[in-house]
Amino acid sequence: MDELTHFTDAGRARMVDVSGKPSTNRVAIASGILRMQAATLACIRSGSIAKGDVLTVADVSAVMAAKRTADIIPMCHSLSLSGVEVVFSDLAEPDASGSVGIKVVTTASCSGQTGVEMEALHAASVALLTIYDMCKAIDRGMRIESIQLEEKRGGKSGIWNRAKGIT
């Protein structure tokens, strides 16, 4: 197991000093799922949610979240992101509980001294929370699940992919 670098020898939390690391191109991809009733998904897709275009608002909120990650996660470095991409897809096949859903995949990229995993994960989380917020009046039983890192590229550790492991 890798050493935890966000703690001093005395056990105190710290922001890791990355000033000695070379800048490399960094990419991280994260995903998450929001499960809901089929009628809720139909309302989102038909544009009949009273608060507005749900996925457009969620897209913007994901980008804003990625850009503000260091303001929310205490030990994250402020990064100059070069791009954030957000893709939504329907999970129209019901799961065991009969719920359908929306999957979000976020990709964050930069050239820097530290990775963008937290930015991609934060973007995916906030996108799903935004959809929940906009639809809660018609479906309070929605549930967020499976927020996870799918892939990261760049830096000393190279490429990691959930499906393939470290490459």
Catalytic residue at 133? yes
Helices (H) and strands (E) in the chain, counts: 4, 6
Cβ atoms 29, 121 nearer than 8 A: no
Q: Give the integer Cα–Cα distance in Å for 27 and 36.
A: 30
Sheet hosting strand 100-112, strand order edge to edge: 81-91, 100-112, 24-36, 143-153, 160-161, 165-166
Query: 92: which 2 tokens?
Result: 């129209």
Q: In sequence order, what are the residues at sequence separation of 6 or more whose Cβ sits closer than 8 angstroms to the Cβ of residue 1?
A: none
Q: Which of 2, 17, 95, 133 is catalytic?
A: 133
b/e per residue, 116-134, with b = 16+ CB within 10 A?
bbbbbbbbbbbbbbbbbeb
Catalytic residue numbers read 133
